[in-house]
Amino acid sequence: MTPYLVSIDLGTTNTVLAYAAPGATEVQLLDIDQLTAPGEVHGALLLPSNRYHPAEGELGPAELQLPWVQADVAGVERFVVGRLARTLGAQVTGRYVASAKSWLSHPGVDRTAPILPWGAPEGVPKVSPVAASASYLAHLRGAWNARFPNHLLEDQRIVLTVPASFDEGARALTLEAAKQAGLHGVRLLEEPQAALYDWLYRHRATLAGELADTRLVLVADVGGGTTDFSLVQVRVANGEPVLERIGVGNHLILGGDNMDLALAHLAESRLAPADSPQRLSAGRLAQLTERCRAAKEQLLAAGGPSQANVTLLGSGSKLIGGSRSVTLTRDDVAQVVVEGFFPLNADQADARRSRGGIVEFGLPYASDAAVTRHLASFLRQHAQAARAALGIDDGTTFPVPDTLLLNGGVFRAETLARRLADTLSGWRSQQGLGQIKVLHNDNPDVAVARGGVAYSLSRQGMAPSIAGGSARAYYLLLDADKAPGVKRRAVCILPRGAQPGSEITLADRTFGLRVGRPVRFHLVSTVTDLRHGAGDLADLDPADYVPLPAISTVLKTDNTKVPREIPVRLAAALSEVGTLEVHCVEAASGRRWLLEFQLRGVEEETAETQEPVAPPPRFADAVEKIDRIFGSRVLHVESKEVRQLRGQLEQLLGSRERWPTPLLRHLFDALMQRAKGRRRSPEHERVWLNLAGWCLRPGFGAPLDEWRIGQLWALFDSGAQYFKDSQVRAEWWTLWRRVAGGLTTEMQLRLLDDFAFNLQASAAERGTRPATLVDGSEEDMLRLGASLERIPSAYKAEIGDWMIGTIRKLPTSGPKFEAKGAASFTRYLWALGRVGARKPFHGSAHEVAPAAAVETWLGEILKLDWKKIEPAGFAAAHLARMTGDRSRDISPALREEVLRRLTAMGAPPTWGAMVRDVVELDQASEQRMFGDALPPGLKLIS
């Protein structure tokens, strides 16, 4: 059966499905059935890309019923997708999932973890960005299959559009969402290209005349969540236009959502009483933002009102009586949206790189909100190719396209469409050129979906096509361990313009590949005009490329007992579905290994160091020392020599505080290979545990640390051999505390069990203790428990409550304070500061302790004498640290009180700075909070 041609625009704001019947040339839009009110279903061309998770009893089964039976792919029992979700989300806080597409491109969180709604209170079901996206696609599948039961959506030829700026990680996660929705074998298409395909198809009969004077088309696609630019060259061959995409932009989380949020900030300032400037909660701000979106659309519409009221409903029993309203005028929108996001930028200034943009709801919005400045930067980035397309011979003229196609819901507003066109025309007039030509886009909301169908028709020879191949060039870094900012030596593995489905093998480049041992590949991509062929060596400026997600793996052969190196060649291709595939091909046999990107991690690993990665001259001597103590040969080694191993290593390699990360990991590998030797005596075990933890700290940040953690964790269940030795016990827990940053959630929860048993088990429970459980002192357990950043937020609240309860009971004066109280305050306050930290060292931001709990703890800390109990100020500074995300930040009033107390106690300026502004920790504060000095060259990303 001939399949339908289907295209899905999975947008940040709306999702649209277009299709063409088998053999037909008419592009149609699916009327998507969805809930519009409880129990009411109506069709609409746009499915809002939103979810709502109703409370128990809020909506009954009949009120959630769709014309088809559909379980949630995200596993939530009661949920709403589409128009009703948007309506309810504007009325009820904390239950609304929006902008899932923006989260797909945010590598700072685990995009497969249930983190949305962001900042939702406990008890509200959460879903991952991938699962949320999958649920919108699953809704389309249900609506389609109900309409076409004999032509199931999963059996059709499907194109799924993505931003041109999506990296390989975001593209792979989009495909994963499609798979979760039961849609396999979909093909990805870039959204700006799809928008142009739509225009070309609608004007196919008159195309030669329409593009007669066009040489370079700029497609500007500003949607709800992203801004995407593409350049398409137009040439004439045999009297017909020939189009080739020659440039795409880097990823920008900048769109209608940012504009709505900026208006919400303005409305918030007017809603607050003059004598009580109280900030809204994250959930209430989200609600206000949704109301401002509706007001913005009214005020920017042609013939729209001059002003609109924005009402923020009350909460709980004051839902109506507690509501507040504010008026937004057309002038407000003009000032905030038009001038703020679309300034004329007559001097063609580049986008600012400083961190001054809006930071809300956990998303890293673009630091410069001006779309027109980003556009100037984009045109400079592709100046060489743009000048060539326009026929400009000199190498200095700022290239301005002659034709513009606007797309995205933002440009439904004629004011914004005209402003961007005026900006480009102004740039052209400075060069004595005429006004820019604007290609009419009759419906920016659906053009991308329609264009996906036109693309499929072009593949069948039934519509105009756009050439171009890969929009990016891909490189393998050969010296990834250079210092930051230094140019990197790299080899091109896939040049720009490579065609989908065509594999390119670097036949003239042979690499030595270790098998049976961990390896890591550093791949980067660039959209710049660099022109390298496959296999070419290049020196890349870090400003010109974007690192791809990590590829770390252990490649195995039939004989994995002895690590060996084999000659291989690299083969790369842009797959037919639109993703990068890289293989290692054994030169002798042709055996292939597919290298897969890792997409779950939330912290970016980096191998950047301040020193070369080659081991120091006496590294071999150091390994000999380790082998003498822990090696397989049984040597007569005195206990004194075992205890002196650390000192001997420092004599050979320098002070251990200055050992760089690569050296530390080399030493850990040497220790791990000789792990069995730790069981020879208590001294052996103490020294091995101490060195292993030191050399692997903080558990992440270097290539292959995940693999090393897996090796180390295999030792946990067997426990310590000499667990009756107090020093062995202390080193055992110190090791796990030092590497906690690299432990998975499951591993940290396992440690939490031992933490709870050691601190809280009754005498009866201790009688049934597990045989391998290692006893831990109060100090060991406090430091360990405070380092478990990946455990659920609710567990952190419990641990913090227990800690603050203990702090309340500590003596604050007298002999007892002098004897034990001061030391106990230091231990407990340090631990509480880690447990309640607003910016985690290694965990995801969604796992921090609840802000409400932290405010309670701060209330207790404020009762202490900070001049006498200095750790109180340090802990309070971390509990009150500014993040810019109001779901994590404490209230402004409490922040001011903490700042006042820090000033009164004469705290270091850096403590107040971290409470007042979004700043990075200074080295001293970082070391104090982490508990150990970090390896040189390793920077925690927080």
- Which region holds residue 704: left if phi is over 0, alpha if psi is between -120 and 50, else beta? left
Q: Provide the 8-state DSSP code for 542.
A: G
Phi, psi of 584 (to 5 degrees): -95, 130
Reply yes or no on whether the pLDDT at 941 is more than 50. Answer: no
Query: What pLDDT sits at residue 426?
Result: 96
Its sign, for the CA torsion 593, 594, 599, 600, is: negative
Average pLDDT of the residues in 479-507: 79
Q: Is the pLDDT of residue 684 over 90?
A: yes
Reported as half-sphere exposure (CB side, CA atoms, 13 A), residue 779 has a value of 12
pLDDT score recorded for residue 250 = 83
**Ramachandran class of 834: left when φ > 0, alpha when ψ lies in -120 to 50, beta otherwise:** alpha
How many residues are there in the chain? 942
User: For residues 337 and 292, is the Cβ–Cβ distance under 8 A?
Assistant: no
Task: Answer yes or no: are the C-beta atoms of 837 and 929 closer than 8 Å.
Answer: yes
pLDDT exceeds 50 at position 859: yes
Confidence of residue 320 (pLDDT cuts 50, 70, 90): very low
Q: How confident is the model at residue 605 (pLDDT cuts 50, 70, 90)?
A: very low
Most confident of 135-139, 564-568, 575-579, 812-816: 135-139
> Is 454 within 8 Å of 198 (Cβ atoms)?
yes
Q: Is the pLDDT of residue 935 over 70?
A: no
Lowest model confidence (mean pLDDT) among 62-66, 590-594, 766-770, 850-854 = 766-770
10 Å CB burial of residue 149 (0-12, 13-18, 19+) is exposed
Average pLDDT over residues 180-205: 94
pLDDT over 90 at 658, yes or no: no
Cα–Cα distance, 773 to 380 (Å, whole number): 62
Residue 514: in which H helix or E strand, if any? strand 511-515
pLDDT band at residue 22, thresholds of 50, 70 and 90?
very high
The maximal CA–CA distance of the chain, rounded, in angstroms, is: 98
Please compute the mean of the pLDDT values over residues 846-865 and round it to a whole number: 93
Is the CB of residue 101 less than 8 Å from the CB of residue 256?
A: no
Find where tokens 């989380």 sit: 253
Q: Please give the radius of gyration of the chain, using alpha carbons only, rounded to the nearest integer.
A: 30
pLDDT of 24 strictly over 60: yes
pLDDT band at 483 (very low <50, low <70, confident <90, very high): low
Kindly state the percentage of the chain with pLDDT values over 70.
88
Average pLDDT over residues 48-55: 95
CA distance linking residue 287 with residue 122, whole number of Å: 18
State how far the Cα of 628 lies from the Cα of 489, in Å rounded to an integer. Answer: 39
Per-residue confidence at 317, pLDDT binned at 50, 70, 90? very low
Per-residue pLDDT at 905: 93
Residues 6+ apart with CB under 8 A from 791: 745, 748, 749, 752, 847
What pLDDT does residue 921 have?
Answer: 63
pLDDT (0 to 100) of residue 315: 59
Q: How many Å separate Cα 493 from the centre of its chain?
A: 26
Name 566's bridge partners. Answer: 513
Helix (H, G, I), strand (E, B) or coil at 764: helix
Mean pLDDT of 28-35: 98
CB 851 within 8 A of CB 858: no
- The reported pTM is 0.78
Q: Residue 776: CB partners within 8 Å, gap ≥ 6? A: 729, 732, 733, 754, 755, 758, 784
Long-range interactions of 629-634: CB distance < 8 A, separation 24+: 629/677, 629/684, 629/687, 630/671, 630/674, 630/675, 630/676, 630/677, 630/678, 630/680, 630/684, 630/688, 631/674, 631/677, 632/674, 632/676, 632/677
Distance of alpha carbon 337 from alpha carbon 371, whole angstroms: 11
Three-class DSSP category at 29 = strand
Backbone angles phi, psi at 310, to 5 degrees: -115, 120
- Dump pLDDT digits (tens) for 818-842: 767 788 899 899 999 999 999 888 8
Cβ partners under 8 Å of residue 689, min gap 6: 678, 720, 728, 731, 732, 734, 735
- Between these two residues, 519 and 12, which has the higher pLDDT value? 12
The total of other beta-carbon atoms located within 10 Å of residue 865's CB is: 11
Contact yes or no for 135/72 (Cβ under 8 A): yes
**Alpha-carbon span 909 to 815, nearest angstrom:** 32
705 pLDDT more than 90: no
Is residue 482 within 8 Å of 557, Cβ to Cβ? no
Domains of the chain: 5-190 (3.30.420.40), 256-364 (3.90.640.10), 473-595 (2.60.34), 603-750 (no CATH), 792-942 (no CATH)
pLDDT of residue 480: 56
For residue 857, give both structure tokens: 């703890």
Share of the chain above pLDDT 90, in %: 52
CA dist 115 and 132 (Å) reads 10
**Res 829: pLDDT:** 93
- Region 720-740: mean pLDDT is 93
Helix, strand and coil in the chain, % to nearest 5: 40, 15, 45
Q: Which of 160-169, 394-403, 718-727 has the lowest mean pLDDT?
A: 160-169
State both tokens at 54. Answer: 């109703």
Q: Residue 608: pLDDT band by 50, 70, 90 thresholds?
A: very low
Alpha-carbon gap, residue 234 to 236, rounded angstroms: 7
pLDDT tens for residues 526-578?
Answer: 888 788 888 889 898 887 888 887 676 666 666 555 456 788 888 998 876 67
Whether the Cβ atoms of residue 847 and residue 791 lie closer than 8 Å to each other: yes
Residues 208/239, Cβ–Cβ less than 8 Å:
yes
pLDDT confidence band for 45 (50 / 70 / 90)? very high
For residue 754, how many C-alpha atoms fall within 13 Å in the half-sphere facing its CB? Answer: 24
**Geometric angle at alpha carbon 369, from 366 and 371, rounded to 5°:** 105
pLDDT > 60? residue 939 = no
Q: What does the alpha-carbon distance between residue 802 and residue 834 come to, in Å, rounded to a whole number?
A: 14
Q: Do the beta carbons of residue 32 and residue 140 sit within 8 Å?
A: yes
Using 50, 70 and 90 to split pLDDT, how confident is the model at 623?
very high
The pLDDT value recorded for residue 926 is: 59
Query: Given this model, what pLDDT does residue 601 score?
Result: 46
Query: In whole angstroms, what separates CA 716 from the centre of its chain?
Result: 31
| Residue 883 · residue 839 · CB < 8 Å | yes
Looking at residue 355, its pLDDT comes to 42
Q: How many helices (H) and strands (E) does the chain have?
A: 32, 33
Higher pLDDT, 169 or 7: 7
- Residue 507 vs residue 36, higher pLDDT: 36
Query: Which has the closest alpha carbon to 19: 451, 389, 392?
Result: 451
Mean pLDDT of the chain: 86
Owner of token pair 């004999």: 150
Query: How far is it, in rounded angstroms, from Cα 717 to Cα 484?
Result: 39
Whole-angstrom Cα distance, residue 17 to residue 446? Answer: 8
> Using an 8 Å Cβ cutoff, are 253 and 400 in contact?
no
Residue type (1 letter), 339: E
pLDDT value for 662: 84
pLDDT score of 366 more than 80: no
Q: What is the DSSP string of 463-502?
A: S--EE---SSEEEEES-TTSPTTS-EEEEEEE-TTPPTT-
What phi and psi values does residue 458 have, to the nearest 5 degrees? -65, -35
Beta strands in 305-347 (DSSP E): 307-312, 324-329
- Gap between the Cα atoms of 678 and 629, Å rounded: 9
Residue 321: per-residue pLDDT: 45
* Residue 355 to residues 285, 301, 352, 366, 542, Cα–Cα distance (Å): 22, 32, 8, 8, 19
Please say if the pLDDT value at position 602 is more than 70.
Answer: no
Phi-psi domain of 607 (left: phi exceeds 0; alpha: psi -120 through 50; beta: other): alpha
* Residue 910: CB atoms within 10 Å: 16
> What would the two tokens of residue 891 be?
């209230």
What count of other Cβ atoms lies within 10 Å of the Cβ of residue 55?
A: 12
